[in-house]
Structure 1
Amino acid sequence: MTTTPTIARIWRGRTRADVGDAYEVYLRAEGIPPLEKTALGVQPFREDREGESWFTTISYWPDHESMTAFTKGEPTKVHHLDRDPEFLIELPERIQIHRILLDHRRLP
């Protein structure tokens, strides 16, 4: 298995602005750690808009097989966190999978 990411798995969700901070704490505690243990890397993002907070999580994978092993099935299927229905305005229906065409990073 290569240690170079070739695939990005992208999840997006949004909350009302008044629960954005609480969801961020929840996402960091419950959603990110499993990815940190399994994926080559993970980056959570947050964008605050008027009345809403948008969250995007990108995880990086060496191949399709490793994503499938992590999700125990189809990688585009969303596996919602237990409290997502409480926080999210709507439950995302799918995950985006993108091939990484260029990986240009400045490493220390």
Structure 2
Amino acid sequence: MIARIWHGKTKAEHFEEYTDFMKSEAIPDYKKTKGFIKLTFLRRIEGDIAHFNLITFWENLDVIQNFAGDDYEIAKYYHRDKDYLLEFEEKVTHYDVFAE
């Protein structure tokens, strides 16, 4: 199993609105992908910035490529991300999961 980790930042005032967007659009997109296993979505506010960390779990790298494209280390963004995110981190990080 492979874990794929993404980080994003919004203004704190968009904390709930961005959460709702991710629940309604991004998370269903992950879940409909064959080979997707599960996800954990983390969020916190630090001053006037909201941080979001998304950890998705996949069967293997081939499945991730099917979801994210040939260059699977490039972060995948959604059309409304531009309305919220303060920056667009180019890459995500992948880890082999060896224990749960």
Looking at secondary structure, tell me which structure has more strand per residue: 2
Which residue number corresponds to residue 62 of structure 2?
65
Q: How many residues align?
A: 98
Whichever residue aligns with residue 91 of structure 1, its letter is F
Which residue number corresponds to residue 14 of structure 2?
19
Query: RMSD of the TM alignment (CA)?
Result: 1.1
Q: Which of 30, 52, 74 pairs up with 1:35?
A: 30
Structure 2 gaps of 5+ residues are: none
1:29 shift after superposition: 0.9
Whichever residue aligns with residue 35 of structure 1, its letter is Y
Query: Deviations along 1:21-61, whole A, 9 cap, x unmatched?
Result: 11111111111111112211111111111111101111101
* Alignment pair present for 1:8 and 2:10: no
Q: Distance in 1 between matches of 2:78 and 2:89?
A: 11
State the secondary structure of the residue aligned to 1:93.
coil
* Alignment pair present for 1:101 and 2:91: no
Which residue number corresponds to residue 76 of structure 1?
73
1:75 shift after superposition: 1.5
Q: Distance in 2 between matches of 1:79 and 1:7?
A: 16
Radius of gyration: which is bigger? 1
Q: Distance in 2 between matches of 1:30 and 1:90?
A: 19
Query: Deviations along 1:7-29, whole A, 9 cap, x unmatched?
Result: 10111101010111111111111
Q: Distance in 1 between matches of 2:29 and 2:83?
A: 21
Q: Distance in 2 between matches of 1:8 and 1:70?
A: 13
Percent identity over paired residues:
24
**Structure 1 segments of 4 or more deviating over 4 A?**
none
